[in-house]
Amino acid sequence: QNCRFLNEGCKLKMSDREGLRLASNTGRHFCALLQNRKADGTLFLNLLDLRGLAVGEAPGGGERWFLVGVQADMDHVGTSEPPLEHKLHMQHIATVIRDELVSQLQQAAIVTAEVSGDA
């Protein structure tokens, strides 16, 4: 389900809006503190790390990729910018998750190639 309605009425800097759009369209890395809304309507600060994960070629050419996002509630920080160590920790977690996904996708590709006789 699209949760875009949870952003209604939230303050979003134009640079963050552009960064999100660029990440969504190209897979480019994006990390920022965003105001968001919980399902109950409560506002909170959300640290979002978003990046593309290339998984192969699309049928019409070009890259096929997915967006991998990690988020953390940062209300306890209470500032407009989280401490650098929070961002670095979040980026580390996102990298670990991304690397694990790549490993699993590679293993699945090997098994698929072996089963189909392409190996």
Tens digit of each residue's pLDDT (9 = 90 or more) over 36-83: 888 888 888 888 888 888 877 778 888 888 888 888 888 877 766 777
Amino acid making up residue 69: G
List the domain boundaries for the chain: 4-116
Mean pLDDT over each residue of the chain, to the nearest integer? 82
Mean pLDDT of 91-98: 87
pLDDT of 119 higher than 60: no
Q: In this predicted structure, what is the pLDDT of residue 2?
A: 53
CA angle 20, 80, 18 (to 5 degrees): 20
DSSP lists the bridge partners of residue 85 as none
Mean pLDDT in residue range 17-41: 89
Structure tokens at 105: 């996708």
Q: Output the CATH code of domain 4-116.
A: 3.30.450
Per-residue confidence (pLDDT) for residue 16, from 0 to 100: 92
**Does residue 94 have a pLDDT over 80?**
yes
Instruction: Give dist(CA 36, CA 104) in Å, integer.
Output: 32
